[in-house]
A and B are shown apart, each in its own frame.
Chain A
Amino acid sequence: MSDYIFYPGCSMESSAKAYYDSVMAVSKPLGISLKEIDDWNCCGATEYLSLDRMPAYSLIARNLALAERQAADTRTVVAPCSACYLNLSKTDHYMGEDKAFGEKINEALAAGGLHYSPGELVVRHLLDVVLNDVGLDAVKAKVVRPLTGLRVVPYVGCMLPRPDYGKRYSDTERPTELDDLMRALGAEVVDFPLKTACCGGHMTQIGPDTAFELIRRLVSSAVGCKADVMVALCPMCQMNLDAFQSQMNGHFHADYRMPVLFFTQLMGLAFGEKPEKLGFGSEFVSAREAMSRIGVATPQPVVEGAAARPRKAAGLPMPPPRVTARQSTGKD
């Protein structure tokens, strides 16, 4: 077992519980031990940086300081959320690059009895750890239920490959790491042209019309690629594409039903874990039908499916064609 310092982030305890559960379920077969930062705080997402930069960076740096104090066998901090990952690595990066800035942040931390030495820790996303520490061969060796026949869209989103301070990913716009992992699990991987296009971020809250268009673009593209399921590696991406899919349908008078899962959920299935342990059933757009294609029965969601009935909402007047994932495929 390799040790890692773990920064879960707020979403993992609420909207992305399925992500948390599946990360925990796969950590054992992957041989990684995740030790949570004691008393960590929210990273502030993109919101605090917008308001006031010094407290924003200090808020993030408190987590790094706590992690540094806790670091024993490892210097690696693992974050499963892309926004948390970016904030932590951004703070470490700028505190190191801009010495005066780093000193000011440490001056603020000192008010709470803390200190962080930039460069002391390495911040990494879970995907990076799975690929580069565990390795694809070790992953393949753990697969007992290959995802053969499942067409998967690897949706990476923005904040993992960009701006990529540590130069850890193969490309800022067409990274292939998630593709490789899904292929190692036996899935059929879609070469998805929008794999790092924006999910809408906080626009669902401040400009829903813009958010709906960004969500539509991704979901309709996935449907057009004849995918069974999209996988995400960030709670925000997953939430926007899944939970807001029915509102997006309402806005465009459409009826897309594209399940969106976390990559760790599929990894867990391939490793033979029970779907119940992996948070299946908590998705808004049910993954039941998609999973039945590989012979896995996932729990029936508590409330079924999306509100598909188009309403005369304040959407656009011209509806796109009504298609669902499988009507349009013409295969199997």
Chain B
Amino acid sequence: MLTQEVAMRTPGQSNIEMCIQCGTCGGSCPSGSAMDHTPRAVFALMRAGMRDAVLKSNMPWMCVSCYCCTVRCPQDIHITDVMYTLKNMALEAGTIQDEIASDFSKAFIRYVENYGRSFEIGLAGIHSLTHMRLAARLPNMVPMAIRMLTKKGMLPLPPKRIKGIDDLKKILKRAKSMEAA
């Protein structure tokens, strides 16, 4: 069962099977307008076992992790955490339709895995170059980048590498092997 599989992969007691289809989640969602399905619909699809439709939906990827639905859910379902699980599963299944969100996450984490720290300005630059309609965004992006450098003193250099990067890499490698198991 798809719901059980998702519940298994979500830490804690996520209460997925408790959904009563009330729609409070969708009505509370600040990024709902960017989604193909509402969270409520995704829960219905999950319960119907429609794996492909669930894992192809952009709904979890457009989630901004505001936890509004989670605290309002009358059934105490950990909706935001369930969305993280669905994103993990969609990546594994290779079903993502629009890769802008997952590519952003990957670019963010690439720095973290190699330096132990994130790298905001480099990340924003690289991500924009590969994904935004550049001609439309550039007139706004350039002045913003310049002000990031001048006002905030942010340098376009990679972040400082943590001392324990080798140990961190071992930890992450071990953790990744668990998820695959």
Contact = CB atoms under 8 A, between A and B. Distances in A.
Interface in A206-226: 206-210, 213-214
Contacts of A282: 151-153
Contact of A41 (B112, B153, B178): B112
A85 interface: no
Interface of A: 10-11, 13-15, 17-18, 39-42, 44-55, 57-59, 62, 93-94, 97-98, 101, 104-105, 107-114, 158-159, 162-164, 172-173, 197-198, 200-203, 205-210, 213-214, 243-244, 246-247, 250, 281-284, 301-303, 307, 311, 313-314
B101 A206 contact: yes
Q: Chain B at the A interface: mostly helix, strand, loop or mixed?
A: helix
Contacts of A281: 151
Contact of B68 (A198, A200, A250, A314): A198
B120 to A, nearest CB: 5
A113 B31 CA distance: 41
Interface residues of B, number: 74
B9 interface: yes
Contact of B175 (A10, A47, A55, A307): A55
Given A10-B159, A11-B120, A53-B88, A162 B11 contact: no
Interface of B: 9, 11-13, 30-31, 33-34, 61-62, 64-68, 70-71, 78, 80, 84-85, 87-88, 91, 100-102, 104-106, 108-109, 112, 116-121, 124, 127-128, 131-132, 136-137, 139-140, 143-144, 146-148, 150-154, 159-160, 162-164, 167-168, 170-176, 178-179
A198 B106 contact: no
Contact of B66 (A42, A110, A162): A162
Q: Could you say which of B61, B101, B109, B127 has the most chain A C-beta atoms within 10 Å of its C-beta?
A: B109
Given A47-B108, A50-B105, A311-B139, A39 B11 contact: no
